[in-house]
Structure 1
């Protein structure tokens, strides 16, 4: 065992013990965060506009600060981007994480001196919890890769801006710099396909032990490795035993990954976003990710079915229930206040608080009142894969409201198969029965002959990659929506 590996085990135990302390006192931990951010926020323009000096309790906060999304917070952000100080958080941000907006072009999410360490520490702590639980630390001596956006940044009125993954690349600790791949030059390549090919060349002869990234883009890297070397990834990288991922549910990809790798490897799920690093998988055999309650973020939750009502009830951490679908609202040390990040989550545990991401509040199918969410279609796909011999590369779902002739409407599943099921009807039936079991509204619509069972449209190999390339979102942190309530994606496919 190397000195670095031995040291990692000692540090991992210390970090895990500290996590257990705050996780066992969730409401007290959150109240401390609340008091700290209000104390600083009162000196900002936003704080003065929303009576922060009079806010003493969470009830005061909810009465004075309405829930907002980016569009509603945008006037404050624009003042910051123009160079004004102390608008949402004291002083100027360190960075702006530039993301794709759905209605207003680019979004600029502030990252501050107070918020930036929480992104870095959460990623580190996820790995340390894994070491503390499994005792496996040998991977720290090998090479590690994170498929990410370019670390090169621009500047806007004295503040640097770039993709979150590129910003984080500047914070790789010194003790990991020698282990890190790809090179800075390769990481800075803008064209994703060119970049993946360069990463393949840089890594295929290295001792890769940890590989990280969004599953769909890591899959592309693995496929090109296999094509270049003629070997399974697990044979090429004999010491590769840890896959770290975030952004999408890994389960629909798992069988494809195991085929590409040639064996099973451990995995750690992360829940990072430009707005904050919200959660990470702290236990290998527990469902859900540990919500980061002590990382400068105060959480509120609104039941998804109430979200668009006139006065939806806002709940703090002590009021949530397991299995309920919530829109997650955050107030952070980056100056986001009662901010709707757009994600829906479900709690799998309250001792400690663990969540899964169930979808996006704007990404659902409810063309007929069924309100199908991402979690349901992903679980249905996982069931169909596990009960057949199929493997998939990617999929998305959309409603077909006006089919030809006298045909009933249906949900159309666009699937790129890596291996088609031998019994296609059985695969389709399993998908549909799983959807009916999970979603009572969908069941009623099928039973009532309002909808017919789902239909599958096969997408040619690399079809989804070509689609993402056609809209300028190939690679990096870009993700294909799992489902849509319209046919914008479906018609292009």
Structure 2
């Protein structure tokens, strides 16, 4: 056992005890976080507008601070982006994590000196808890790769901005720098194909023990390794012993990964976002990720079925139940208040509190981390009908993760009332418009992770037949514009036969 792995085990046990301490007192831990947040922000513009100085309880907070999504919080965020101080949180943020917007361009998510460490410690503690649980620390002596965005940052009114993964790259602890790949120069390569080639050149001869990233991107890395060497990843990296992932559901990829690697590799699931690092897998043999209740985030939960009602009940951590779909609402030490992240979660356990990400409160497609929403596909379709003079009865979009050949893609199932003259031209137009609206999708196309969308025509009244087959024909029932799986797609294909 090396000195580094020995030290890692000692530190891991320390973090494990720390974790057990707050996890065993969930309500008390959350109450402490809540009080600290209110106290620290009471003199900000937002705090004054919502009478934080009069808030004594979480019930007061729920009455005085309405739930908002990014667009509704945007008037305050815009002031922060303009360089004003003490708007959502004391002072100015350290960074903005720039992400794809939902309705009007980019989103600028503030990262403060208080919130930034929680992002770093989240990933660190996930690994340390794994070491404490399994006793396996040998991988710390090998090389670790984190497939991420460029660490190059821009500036807006004196505040640096970039993608969260690129910002985090600036905070890799010194004791990991020698183990970390790719190199800084390679990480700064903007073109994904060039970047992957450079990463492969840097890693093929190394003792890779930990590989981390969004599954779709890691899969491309693995496939190119096989193409270059003719060997399984597990042969190329015989000591590869830990895969860390987040962002999308790994299950659709698992069989493909095991084939590419040639064996099973232990994995850790993370639940990170620009808005916060919410949870990580703390047990290899239990379903769900440990919700981080002590990380500067106060959580509220609303039953998904009640979310769009006039005054839904806002529950705190001590009031939730297992196997119920909740919308997760957060208030953070980055200045997000009663913020609707859009994610829905389900608790698998309450001793301690573990969650799985069950989806989004609105329909979406994000099988590859693209976060495509209904507004984006509907806007593209609306413009296309005008451009190409056709009419549709209905349409829906689903991911095709495992095509018979070639790259994965988005499949658009369209029932035409009047067909366009050229389906290939329509496909190209829709794909271009989607890329213009969604930077994540554009990155996946340009990086050759996805190929451009494919249109599959649905026979006349095909959607009606589908709705009838599931007992939802008529009334207020609607076809979801997007799905993150192929349940609807598979049924539509059956009806075509």
Q: Same fold (TM over 0.5)?
A: yes
Which residue matches 1:249? 249
2:99 is the counterpart of 1:99: yes
Within-5 A mapping of 1:331-480? 331-363=331-363, 414-417=399-402, 460-464=405-409, 471-474=441-444
Which residue matches 1:18? 18
Question: Retained in 2: the 8 A contact 1:225–1:233?
Answer: yes
Which residue matches 1:153? 153
Distance across 2 between alignment mates of 1:303 and 1:478: 38
Q: Secondary structure at the match of 1:327?
A: strand
Within-5 A mapping of 1:51-130? 51-130=51-130
Within-5 A mapping of 1:169-208? 169-208=169-208
CA displacement 1:99-151 (0-9 Å, x = unmatched): 00021110000000000001111110000000000000010010001110000
Unaligned runs of 5+ in 1: 366-373, 379-391, 400-407, 418-457
Distance across 1 between alignment mates of 2:373 and 2:79: 39
Within-5 A mapping of 1:269-284? 269-284=269-284
Change (3 A) 1:321 1:478: farther
Distance across 2 between alignment mates of 1:477 and 1:348: 36
Distance across 1 between alignment mates of 2:89 and 2:373: 40
Which residue matches 1:144? 144
Question: Retained in 2: the 8 A contact 1:149–1:477?
Answer: no
Which residue matches 1:219? 219
**How far has the Cα of 1:323 moved from its partner?**
0.5
Change (3 A) 1:93 1:479: farther
CA displacement 1:425-483 (0-9 Å, x = unmatched): xxxxxxxxxxxxxxxxxxxxxxxxxxxxxxxxx574114299797951328999999xx
Question: Retained in 1: the 8 A contact 2:396–2:480?
Answer: no
Which residue matches 1:382? none
CA RMSD for the aligned pairs? 3.1
CA displacement 1:280-328 (0-9 Å, x = unmatched): 0001001000000000000000111111111111100011110000000
Change (3 A) 1:478 1:416: closer
Q: Secondary structure at the match of 1:272?
A: strand
2:480 is the counterpart of 1:485: yes
Unaligned runs of 5+ in 2: 378-392, 411-427, 454-478, 490-497
**How far has the Cα of 1:364 moved from its partner?**
5.8
Distance across 1 between alignment mates of 2:171 and 2:6: 23
Would you identify which runs of 4 or more consecutive aligned residues in structure 1 move more than 6 Å? 396-399, 408-412, 465-470, 475-481, 487-491
Q: Secondary structure at the match of 2:409?
A: helix
Which residue matches 2:46? 46
**How far has the Cα of 1:21 moved from its partner?**
0.6
Question: Retained in 1: the 8 A contact 2:364–2:482?
Answer: no
Distance across 2 between alignment mates of 1:110 and 1:19: 26
**How far has the Cα of 1:485 moved from its partner?**
2.2
Question: Retained in 1: the 8 A contact 2:363–2:481?
Answer: no
Give TM-score, length-normalised by structure 1. 0.79
Change (3 A) 1:479 1:95: farther
**How far has the Cα of 1:415 moved from its partner?**
2.9
CA displacement 1:142-163 (0-9 Å, x = unmatched): 0001110000001111110000
Within-5 A mapping of 1:279-318? 279-318=279-318
